[in-house]
Amino acid sequence: MRTHNGKKNTTLEEIERLQEAMQAVRHCNGELQKYKKKLNQLLDSSPDAMVFVNTNNMITMVNTQFEHMFGYTQDEVTGKELDILIPERFRDKHKDRVTSFLSNPMPRPMGMNLEIHALKKNGDEFPADIGLSVLKTEDEYYISAAVRDITKRRDVEKQMELDYFLQKALNEMLEISLEPLPIEHQFEKILDLILATPHLALETRGTLYVARDDKDVLILKASQGFEKSSSSLCREIPFGECLCGKAASRAEIIHADQFDDRHTRDHEDIFPHGHYCVPILTGGRTIGLMNIYLKEGHKRSSGEEQFLTSVAHTLALIINRHNSAEEKENLQSQLADSEKLAALGRFTANVAHEIRNPLTAIGGLARRLQKRVTEGTKENDYAGFIASEVTVLEKILGKVLTYSRETSLEREATNIHEIIDALVQLNEDNFSDKDITVTKSYGTFPDLDLNKTELHEAIENIIINSLDSMSPGDQLTITTGSKNVKEIPYVYVSFRDTGEGMTKGQLNAIFEPFFTTKVSAKGTGLGLPITKKIVEDHGGFVTVESEVGRGSTFTLYLPLNQM
């Protein structure tokens, strides 16, 4: 019995020891779970995504932040190669880096400025900063990687760098604006700066335009990236036409990422491209336009548009400065001309008055003599010739006095269309004899407060001038309408003929007294100066465009001062 009891006691003791051992194991396992839970909590509390990788480049563990950042669960990545988190084009390079790191494993902090890209489960890429630590166990090394998405930081850094270059470019543009250069040269320099600015995804092509005051049309002033003879260069663009004209008329930026149906102008050497068409504004009015070419498919960027808008503000300052300088020069020139003409007017008026009386006497005596001398004789012919020439001289003197006298306008409600109709009818035979077609296109506006007699003379001078310049089969187009010029409302009367046109030298001199392009028998050179004087006395102005062989266009602008 003792032996049996002894065996029994031994068995009980072994069971008790086994139970104690199992209890110790359970306790250790509980402690292990506690530490594991604490470890997971510590890992999950990290602001960075944590990835643990063994020396075989296999993922062994990740934290919750990793799951949020990459979109994978721990079960989806555990046991998978780290390559699934690397964009395919960088995988070979990344393997070389891993091999190099394992050959001499040393901790690597973040902020080493390495160009690293990570790949999410959904295929999105993002720039990453990665810090590495090495864990050594009895069996092998483990690498822990703290991954941080630095997309926002990169965007901020990129924006700061872009802001620096943009501010630098704007400062240089302001310096250029102060240089004593023609506006075309300043624009060329500024265009070079725009297209050379880093971080702007622009084509190295662009154009700059200035708007004409008297017409809603853009005139090319500078270009970059084109051959001088390129047909892709639009040298003149009316407001509202094609992308540039639409941006000018709307006074807003237009973006295009491809050559679409908004391009109404087609060219032989066209190429795939997009545009930023940026109006240059002052007081809400378009005074120019910047057209920057983009690579096809380039998306609209608010940063780029802000920069180009700032450039447009600088260009507006340059245009206004040049316009002010030109206006000052023109005013000084006009003042000098006015003083000269005033002196000439006083002189010619005095001379005309002194000549008129003896000239009247000569004409009267010649006509008497012609009546008393037998008809058919040379003496009778001579007397008639003297009387005829005196009549011509009297008409010239009348025009001289009209041009030189101070005007005191007696105004009344005047219908311009009635004056035009009457003058066209009066010259109907002349138009018919020369087989000239007259076309009229009238706008709608109220009667104006004008001197009807003087306006009749002004328009008559233009019509006669057009008649004398045209050949059989030519056309005269008369157009009226209203428009604002420098924010002032005007009525315009335009006379466009298809006559012989004028040279630049003639164009610059046509409003000078006694200058004429006609033969002496046809003109005195006072008709157009008188027209200009009459229009200016009414507070308006006259413009003229002409090209040899293509005709001329005279436009009278009269203030829209309704009665």
3-state secondary structure 502-523: CCHHHHHHCCCCCCCCCCCCCC
Question: Which segments within 415-502 are labelled E, that is strand?
Answer: 437-441, 448-450, 475-485, 488-497
**End-of-domain residue from the set 283, 315, 347:** 315
- Same domain for 273 and 298: yes
At 553 the pLDDT is 92
At 491 the pLDDT is 92
> Is 344 a domain residue?
no
At 344 the pLDDT is 61
Reply yes or no on whether the pLDDT at 447 is more than 60.
yes
- Same domain for 434 and 545: yes
3-state secondary structure of 209: strand
- Same domain for 174 and 62: no
- Same domain for 170 and 75: no
> Is 206 a domain residue?
yes
CATH assignment of the domain containing 143: 3.30.450.20
Domain range spanning residue 140? 46-149
Residues 90-141 have pLDDT tens digits of 888 888 888 888 778 788 887 777 778 899 999 999 999 988 888 777 677 7
Sorted by sequence, the CB contacts under 8 Å of residue 295 that are 6+ apart come out as 201, 203, 273, 274
> Is 310 a domain residue?
yes
- Same domain for 228 and 79: no
Lowest mean pLDDT among 70-84, 129-143, 321-335: 321-335
Residues 355-376 have pLDDT tens digits of 767 777 787 787 888 888 888 8
> Is 328 a domain residue?
no
Residues 367-407 have pLDDT tens digits of 888 888 888 888 888 888 888 887 777 766 666 666 656 56
Q: Identify which has the larger pLDDT, 513 or 211.
A: 211
Local confidence band at 521 (pLDDT 50, 70, 90 cut-offs): very low
Lowest mean pLDDT among 142-151, 331-340, 432-441: 331-340
CA distances from 455 to 131, 452, 499 (A): 87, 5, 24
> Is 80 a domain residue?
yes
pTM: 0.48
Residue 181 — φ and ψ, nearest 5°?
Answer: -120, 155
- Same domain for 160 and 286: yes
Q: What is the CA radius of gyration of the chain?
A: 45
At 401 the pLDDT is 61
What's the number of domains the chain is made of?
4
CATH assignment of the domain containing 421: 3.30.565.10
Residues 79-103 have pLDDT tens digits of 999 899 999 988 888 888 888 887 7
Q: Identify which has the larger pLDDT, 162 or 201.
A: 162
> Is 320 a domain residue?
no
> Is 480 a domain residue?
yes
d(CA 50, CA 62): 5
- Same domain for 163 and 137: no
At 41 the pLDDT is 65
The sign of the torsion formed by the CA atoms of 289, 294, 297, 303 equals negative
- Same domain for 178 and 73: no
Q: Provide the phi-psi class of 308: left if phi over 0, else alpha when psi is between -120 and 50, else beta.
A: alpha
> Which helix (H) or strand (E) segment is 281 a member of?
strand 274-282
d(CA 328, CA 322): 10
- Same domain for 304 and 165: yes
At 247 the pLDDT is 93
d(CA 150, CA 131): 13
Mean pLDDT of 428-454: 90
Single-letter amino acid, residue 391? T
What average pLDDT does the chain have?
82
d(CA 12, CA 21): 14
At 520 the pLDDT is 43
Q: How far is CA 480 from the centre of its chain?
A: 29
- Same domain for 80 and 26: no
> Is 160 a domain residue?
yes
d(CA 190, CA 290): 11
At 1 the pLDDT is 44
Question: Which segments within 172-258 are labelled E, that is strand?
Answer: 202-211, 217-224, 236-238, 254-256
- Same domain for 214 and 190: yes
- Same domain for 180 and 33: no
Reply yes or no on whether the pLDDT at 250 is more than 50.
yes
d(CA 185, CA 223): 11
**End-of-domain residue from the set 272, 289, 315:** 315
d(CA 458, CA 114): 79
**End-of-domain residue from the set 262, 288, 315:** 315
At 454 the pLDDT is 84
